[in-house]
Chain A
Amino acid sequence: MTTQNLVLDQAAAPRPARPRKKGRSTPYLLIVPACGILILALGYPLVWQFITSMQKFGLSQQFGQPPEFVWFDNYVTLFTDPYMWTVVARSLAFCLVTAGVTMVIGTLMALLMDAVHSAVRITLQISMLLAWAMPVVAAMTVWNWLIDWRRGVLNSVLTGLGLDFQNHNWLATPLSFFFIAMVIVVWMSVPFVAFSIYAGLTQVSTEVLEAAQLDGAGLSQRLRFIIVPIIRPVLAIILLLQVIWDLRVFTQIRLLQDAGSIASETNLLGTYIYQLGVGSSDFAMASAVSIFVLVLTVALSWFYVRSMLKEDDS
């Protein structure tokens, strides 16, 4: 791609002189296996998907007819389909709300870890690590059990508090479905956010904070003028990662759908692709949506990749 060449050209000019220069073919031999598997498992599918997204894949193609090349017709069909826009809007809303809530709670947790006694902090860290370590599907079975409408502990507790939640089905309406999905995703994501921000907080020097305190800076001022500017790069990267991850959320949604809700009312981009491709074998449309998701992700990832490249230069 052009961007790659661009970076390559820039890098070619002031190349850092390394002592080792012999063995000119060695580095290429070293990256052959990695490149090979990446081309096979990602490169080829990517190209196939791009071509397929511009083909017509109807019923006759499922019986072996060669597909017809229709350029961008699928994309036109896709983006004039109101359902696609519903799914896109739903995905964006879910992603932004979930990422926002995750960031807020994660930051609060990090500040909490920083403020409390070390015994409390370690307890908090252990329980967060447990939540973080849970395999996603195992976590989903547990959450399905927690919110089970017949015997789930959530309904029991809420009913015990005097609210009428006997046999309440949390997955019945889309709004409540997405609320539960958000709670689960937030529960899973907060540990990573909290630990990363906490790591950032430990880099804020106590001398600077003390000096500010001596000069009369209150907690909010210290937070605003010292702590936030120092951890801002961490916050930015983590927010970006959360947005990217929440935009492509699939497993949680799919497994909540499995537990009994109407898929068409709760589809996000990932599950929509699954339904198109695996469910109704419409590979062209599925590919078109996939390409859309890929473009979106790569565009969003660019900032993250750039900051990692900076690290590579150092």
Chain B
Amino acid sequence: MTSTVNSTGAAAGAAPAGPRVQRTDPPARRPGATGGRRRIRPVRIVLGVVGIAAALIWAFPVYWMLNSSLLPNVTLQSTTPTWLPFGGSFDNFVAVFSGGTFLPALGMSTAIAVITVVFCLFFAFLGALAISRFRFRGRKAFVLAVLLIQMLPAEGLFIAQYKLMGSLNLLNSIVGVSVIYIAAVVPFTIWMLRGFVAGVPADLEEAAMIDGLSRTQAFLRITFPLLAPGLVASGVYAFLQAWNEFTVALVLLQDNSSQTLPLWLRGFIQASASRATDWGQVMAASTLVAIPVIIFFLFVQGRMTSGLVSGAVKG
């Protein structure tokens, strides 16, 4: 729609613009340029086709996961792929649930994710409050530390964290992994919440205090409700991190009886190396792991992009 505005506006303005402005480029080019605008329709159609093709390529693995999860193993073993899940069923999902290992892994993942979200939000909220509402000595150092820590790769620390948890007897435990996850997520969450806290004007709180509320009351009744969207977004972010995390879990949870969902899924990949795999069940398993993530992700997507690059845009 912008292009139609463009082309009409440009066409109208083209004639007087020519003689008025002294330009270095030869006028011979101009009809070409206008022609280009006229020829925009076929170009747009080609671009549209390219766009749809790209969309199909990007969605295909996700589609293939759903498709395979609905098909019986007999169909999947055929040499010609079955493109649509006609004649499919939810048998693979039933098999995953009755397999006996999914539910413990689900429980483990849920417990770790919930603990991470609760503690992370609490710690990060306090931290965000400190850096956005107070100027104090060491504030800059704290902000810097938060930003730097956020960039530290798990791959550069997991050996030490493994030894730490080993010495605390917290290997293969929910607490051990959760502690690492909270620490990994808190910095970014502080950074994210900081924007929300700063967005609630302190004047609002002060006005409420002048009207007779105590500081705590003013905070709970005025500021906190305004922060709810930020807390939800940060909470979802923390949940996704904890739910998807693989590296630390791989190192800290080596016991088969304490596996998170990513580790449980990995078992299928490992098995596929040595023997014929029931890919229908594996895809059903992947679908079960992915669905809550995809739903939650759609909630926070906008927030995450803007959080990561907002500094750059403002720059």
Instruction: For A33, give its contact among B123, B191, B311 (CB under 8 Å).
Output: B123
B313 in contact with A120 (CB, 8 Å): no
In the complex, chain A residues whose CB is within 8 Å of the CB of B276: 150
Q: Is the interface of A mostly helix, strand, loop or mixed?
A: helix
| A157 part of interface (Cβ distance < 8 Å) | yes
Cα A213 to Cα B280 with chains together (Å): 54
**Is B153 within 8 A of A297, CB to CB?**
yes
Q: B91-99, B131-139, B217-225: which lies at the A interface?
A: B131-139
B132 to A, closest residue via Cβ: A312
Complex interface residues of chain A between 273 and 290 (CB less than 8 A to chain B): 273-274, 276-278, 283, 286-287, 290
Label chain B's interface by main secondary structure: helix
B308 touches A196 (CB 8 A): yes
Q: Give the residues from 258 to 292 in chain B that come closer than 8 angstroms, CB to CB, to chain A.
A: 261-262, 265-266, 268-270, 272-274, 276-277, 279, 282-283, 285-287, 289-290
A58-66, A68-76, A96-104, A299-307: which one contacts chain B? A299-307
Taking the complex as formed, is B39 at the interface, i.e. its CB lies under 8 A from any CB of chain A?
A: no
Would you call A161 an interface residue if the criterion is a C-beta within 8 Å of the partner chain's C-beta atoms? no
Question: In the complex, which residue of chain A has the Cβ closest to the Cβ of B76?
Answer: A151
Does B50 touch A at the CB level, under 8 Å? yes
Q: Who on chain B is nearest to A23 by CB?
A: B134
Most B CB contacts (10 A, CB to CB) among A250, A278, A312 go to A312
- Do B289 and A199 have beta carbons less than 8 Å apart? no
| Chain B contacts for A18, CB-based, 8 A | 134-135
For residue A172, CB closer than 8 A to chain B, the reply is no
Q: Are B294 and A134 in contact (CB under 8 A)?
A: yes
Q: How far is the CB of A215 from chain B (nearest CB, A)?
A: 6
Q: Among A48, A215, A314, which residue has its beta carbon within 8 angstroms of that of B163? A: A48
B19 located at the interface, meaning its Cβ lies under 8 Å from any Cβ of chain A in the complex? no
Closest chain-B Cβ to A132's Cβ sits at a distance in Å of 7
Determine which of A26, A38, A140, A148 lies in contact with B134 in the assembled complex, contact meaning CB atoms within 8 Å. A26
Q: Select one of B133, B138, B143, B247 contacting A20, CB under 8 A.
A: B133
Q: Are A40 and B179 in contact (CB under 8 A)?
A: yes
Chain B residues lying within 8 Å of A200, measured Cβ to Cβ, are 309, 313
**In the bound complex, how far is the Cα of B293 from the Cα of A5, in angstroms?**
41
A contacts with B, residue count (CB < 8 A): 130
Judge if B169 is at the interface, Cβ distance under 8 Å. no
At the interface, yes or no: A173 with Cβ under 8 Å from chain B? Answer: no
Asked if A84 is an interface residue, CB under 8 A from chain B, the answer is: no
B313 touching A310, Cβ below 8 Å: no
Known contacts A15-B135, A137-B246, A214-B17; is-contact A38 B149 (Cβ 8 Å): yes
Given known contacts A233-B313, A234-B313, A290-B156, is B265 in contact with A137 (CB within 8 Å)?
A: yes
Given contacts A37-B186, A308-B147, contact A4 B312 (CB under 8 A): no
CA distance A31 to B147 in the complex (A): 15
Please, which residues of chain A bring their CB within 8 A of the CB of B123? 33-34, 37
CB distance from B271 to the nearest CB of A (A): 9
Task: List 7 tightest A-B contacts by C-beta distance, closest first.
Answer: A45-B160, A41-B183, A127-B59, A260-B273, A133-B297, A311-B311, A277-B159
* A–B pairs, 6, beta carbons within 8 Å: A46-B157, A124-B51, A145-B279, A203-B313, A213-B33, A216-B33
